[in-house]
Structure 1
Amino acid sequence: MSAPAPTALPLARPAPAFRGRIGRDARSGHYAVPRRYRLHLSPSCPDCLRIAVTHSLLGLDEVLPVTLLPTVPDGPGGEHSALRPLYEASAHRYPGAAVAPVLSDDWSGRIVSTHAPDIMRDLVRRFGAGRPRLRPKGADAEIEGVRRLCAQGIDAAAQRAGRADADDEERGAALASLLRTLRSLDGRLAHQEHLLGDQLTAADVELWVSLVQLDTVHRWHLDAAAVHRVAGHPHLWAYARRLAARPAFGPHLDLDGIARRHHTHCRGLEAAGAAVQILDWAAHIPNGTATASC
């Protein structure tokens, strides 16, 4: 089944500073060697969460180490000061903020990529042999469609629906776009366990993280009626609960960290929806390994 066409809303993600790729062999420069590369991830960042889940699904702990960064960036512009040396080694006098996620090369001490979608593709394609098939043959276009749908139809639409500086018409249009996306996905999940059928794929990682953000971040700026309408998609939220209970998903949730990161950097106004939690995420996580939010 093809992904629904996304509503044309602008993406809020900054352009990646580095977009190197892991190749097949030595001719590519960056080629797949166990323990050559390192991931630098902040658990409260949605792109980092997507990468962390992918890394766990593939079982790459011994192949590609992870360095965890603080929940709340400690420098200007969302910068992690621990990443500054890597950025400056990779681009002389790098002028921007040293942000996560980062895939670095321990051999050269430089950055390979800061582009989350490319990083996730390379984890699967270059280190995923003999592991779960998160990108089945012929599914790339459909997975990319889901990624764009989540970024535009959920993330950007929810953000616009809660903007205090937008008028009622703008917020209403964004909420309608969000609800259309959720309704379409809910209908699909009424008849199958995962987005692309019976097999879990990279598309499920994309959607699950967007649902986490929708409930733990975006609902703080929606009114209570809007949150109740968002919650009224039973198959979608049951799916989110099922994935949260899997060891590769739920244990990566830092609910307290997500809340602190959001309240540190957000300048929007809190709305009545902040009091209407959709899921009790901590209750569905194996062994209670997530940190409960405030």
Structure 2
Amino acid sequence: MSFTPPAARLTVRSVPVFRGRIGSDARSGHYAVPRRYRLHLSAADPDGLRIAVTHSLLGLERACPVTFLPAVPDCPDGGHSALRPLYDASAHHYTGPAVAPVLSDDWSGRIVSTHGPDIARDLARRFGGGRTALYPCGAESEIDAVERMCAQGIERAAQRAGTAGTGDEERAAALDTLLHTLGVLDQGLRVQPYLIGDQITAADVELWVALVQLDTVHRHHLDASAVQRIAGHPALWAHARRLAAHPAFGAHLDLDGIARRHHARCQGLEAAGAAVQILDWAAHIAPAP
């Protein structure tokens, strides 16, 4: 399946403070050694949820332990106090918020990366072994395209479509971008079970997290008509529902945490779309084994 991302160029993801990479040998500095690294994640945060699902799909519970953080950061600047020692050890006189996600090096007590996409790729490439091929050879450009579509055509477009105080034309244009993106993805899922090929890849993880955010966060600021049009992509939402039933996805879906994080951060006005839930996510989450 081939993807052409919409024309939008803005992204909703923040610029990472640290962007080290795990390499394949000692010359990289951070080379791949089981149990050397640790993840610090909040599953209520979209980046944290992406990495948590990726980590579970790869079966890396022993190779790379995870410390899960509260849904709502406990510092006034939006950071986590539990991460402050890592930030202080990794950057001299660091004054910004100690935010997640974080991949840390237990050997040095310092941060390797705070860049979600890099962390997910390094986990898959350096520790994935013969497990699920989330980044199949030859599919990198398609996965990159899906990432851009989700960040710009879904997350950013939905945010702009629901922003109070902007003009009607700007909100309408953002909604058109959102619906166009959903339509492209829905069309692809009508002819094959996953976005790329016949197995779960990183593209499906990206899309699933974007749809979770769309239904649990962004729709609260859209009108009911817009939400009904968003819901009118049956293949897309069937895909989201099917993945929610997969233990690697559903086990990390903290609906209460997402709601608390949203209410703690949100400064927008609630609209009629808040009452039009697209999926009953809790009903489709796989029970714990």
The residue number in structure 2 matching 1:193 is 193
The residue number in structure 1 matching 2:99 is 99
* Cα distance in structure 1, aligned partners of 2:230 and 2:186: 11
* Cα distance in structure 1, aligned partners of 2:192 and 2:47: 26
List per-residue Cα deviations over 1:134-182 (Å, max 9, x = no partner): 1110111110110011000000000000000111111100001000000
Percent identical across equivalent pairs? 73
The residue number in structure 1 matching 2:60 is 60
- The answer as to whether partners of 2:247 and 2:288 remain within 8 angstroms in 1 is no
The residue number in structure 2 matching 1:27 is 27
Judge which range, 145-154 or 71-80, deviates more. 71-80
In the TM superposition, what is the alpha-carbon distance from 1:287 to its structure 2 partner?
1.3
- The answer as to whether partners of 2:45 and 2:258 remain within 8 angstroms in 1 is yes
Structural RMSD (CA): 1.0
Matched, 1:265 2:265: yes
- The answer as to whether partners of 1:9 and 1:156 remain within 8 angstroms in 2 is no
List per-residue Cα deviations over 1:24-72 (Å, max 9, x = no partner): 0111110110100000001100000000000000000010000011110
**Counterparts in 2 of 1:132-171, with a 5 A limit?**
132-171=132-171
Aligned residue for 1:76, secondary structure, equals coil
Amino acid at match of 1:219: R
* Cα distance in structure 1, aligned partners of 2:31 and 2:64: 13
Q: Which runs of 5+ in 2 are unaligned?
A: none
Aligned residue for 2:104, secondary structure, equals strand
Aligned residue for 1:185, secondary structure, equals helix
Q: Which runs of 5+ in 1 are unaligned?
A: 290-294
The residue number in structure 2 matching 1:248 is 248
* Cα distance in structure 1, aligned partners of 2:268 and 2:189: 32
The residue number in structure 2 matching 1:292 is none
* Cα distance in structure 2, aligned partners of 1:76 and 1:173: 35
* Cα distance in structure 1, aligned partners of 2:5 and 2:11: 15
- The answer as to whether partners of 2:6 and 2:177 remain within 8 angstroms in 1 is no
TM-score (norm 2): 0.98
- The answer as to whether partners of 1:189 and 1:236 remain within 8 angstroms in 2 is yes
Matched, 1:109 2:109: yes
The residue number in structure 2 matching 1:127 is 127
Judge which range, 54-63 or 6-15, deviates more. 6-15
In the TM superposition, what is the alpha-carbon distance from 1:14 to its structure 2 partner?
1.4
- The answer as to whether partners of 2:87 and 2:98 remain within 8 angstroms in 1 is yes
List per-residue Cα deviations over 1:55-109 (Å, max 9, x = no partner): 0000000100000111101113320111011001000111211000000000000
Matched, 1:227 2:227: yes
Aligned residue for 1:248, secondary structure, equals helix
Aligned residue-pair number = 289
**Counterparts in 2 of 1:273-292, with a 5 A limit?**
273-287=273-287
Amino acid at match of 1:64: C
- The answer as to whether partners of 1:282 and 1:288 remain within 8 angstroms in 2 is no
- The answer as to whether partners of 1:34 and 1:63 remain within 8 angstroms in 2 is yes
TM-score (norm 1): 0.97
